[in-house]
């Protein structure tokens, strides 16, 4: 008969094994997806600000939250140990995340100065698109 402690060890083992199943390529895609969502929401917020629907403090907060997500995605991507095809995917995703961070920084500076330009909004959209492409393994 299986005792409770043994059963608990088996359950924990199965759970940990399942957790470890995600491949490096899947993890790259996951972090790129998180970054894309952050950049896309910054782009949406910028558009709402430019059409006069949103207020500056809300969009400033949105930018801060998006920046936090981008930084977290970049750190997670950089820490991944990859080889071969996954390493190439990691490089593409990291480059896209860094470009997205730059685009967001520009938009943030413009917002602090008073308004976000159409060019900065376009750059945010393009960076989000690049991240979406980096999602596909």
Partner 1 sequence: MKKLLALALGILTAIGGFVDIGDLVTSAVVGSRFGLTLVWVTVLGVVGISLYANMAGRVAAVSGRATFEIIRERLGARAGLANLAASFLVNLMTVTAEIGGIALVFQLVTGISPMLWIPLAGFGVWVVVWRAKFSALENATGLLGLGLMVFAVAVFLLQPDWGHLAPQLIPRIPATEDGSTYWYYAIALFGAAMTPYEVFFFSSGGIEEKWSVKSLGEMKANVLVGFPLGGLLSISIAVCAAVVLLPQAIAVTSLSQVVLPVIQAGGTLAFAFAVVGMAAAVFGAALESTLSSGYTIAQYFGWSWGKFRRPAQAARFHLVMLIGLIIAVLVLLTGVDPVAVTEFSVVFSAIALPLTYIPILIVSNDKQYMGEFRNGMLTNALSLIFLAIILVASIAAIPLMVITGAGQ
| Residue 121 touching partner 1 (CB under 8 A) | no
Question: Which whole-number Å values give the CA distances from 29 to 17, 57, 58, 87, in the listed order?
Answer: 20, 32, 29, 12
Binding partner 1 (rule: CB under 8 A), the pick from 45, 77, 90, 94 is 45
- How far apart CA 55 and CA 89 sit, in angstroms, is 38
Quote the crossing angle between the two packed helices 24-50 and 84-113, to the nearest 10°.
20
Decide whether 54 or 105 has the Cβ nearer to partner 1: 54
Quote the crossing angle between the two packed helices 84-113 and 118-135, to the nearest 10°.
160
| Residue 52 touching partner 1 (CB under 8 A) | yes
Decide whether 76 or 84 has the Cβ nearer to partner 1: 76
DSSP assignments along 14-25, one per residue: HHHHHHTTS-HH
Quote the crossing angle between the two packed helices 56-79 and 84-113, to the nearest 10°.
160
Retrieve residue 114's tokens.
């008073």
Q: Which of residues 69-98 bind partner 1 (CB under 8 A)?
A: 69
| Residue 132 touching partner 1 (CB under 8 A) | yes
Decide whether 37 or 87 has the Cβ nearer to partner 1: 37
Number of residues that bind partner 1 (CB under 8 A): 30
The owner of tokens 């995605």 is: 73
| Residue 56 touching partner 1 (CB under 8 A) | yes
| Residue 119 touching partner 1 (CB under 8 A) | no
Binding site for partner 1 (CB under 8 A): 11, 15-16, 18-19, 30, 33-34, 36-38, 40-41, 44-45, 48, 52-58, 60-62, 65, 68-69, 132
């Amino acid at each position: 008969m299986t005792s409770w402690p043994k059963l608990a060890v088996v359950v924990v083992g199965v759970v940990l094994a399942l957790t470890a199943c995600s491949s490096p390529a899947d993890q790259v895609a996951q972090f790129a997806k998180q970054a894309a969502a952050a950049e896309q929401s910054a782009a949406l917020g910028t558009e709402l600000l430019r059409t006069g629907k949103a207020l500056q403090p809300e969009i400033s907060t949105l930018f801060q939250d998006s920046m936090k997500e981008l930084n977290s995605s970049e750190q997670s991507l950089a820490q991944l140990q990859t080889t071969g095809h996954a390493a190439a995917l990691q490089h593409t995703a990291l480059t896209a995340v860094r470009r997205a961070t730059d685009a967001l920084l520009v938009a943030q500076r413009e917002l602090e100065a008073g308004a976000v330009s159409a060019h900065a909004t376009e750059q945010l959209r393009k960076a989000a698109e690049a991240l979406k492409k980096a999602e596909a393994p």
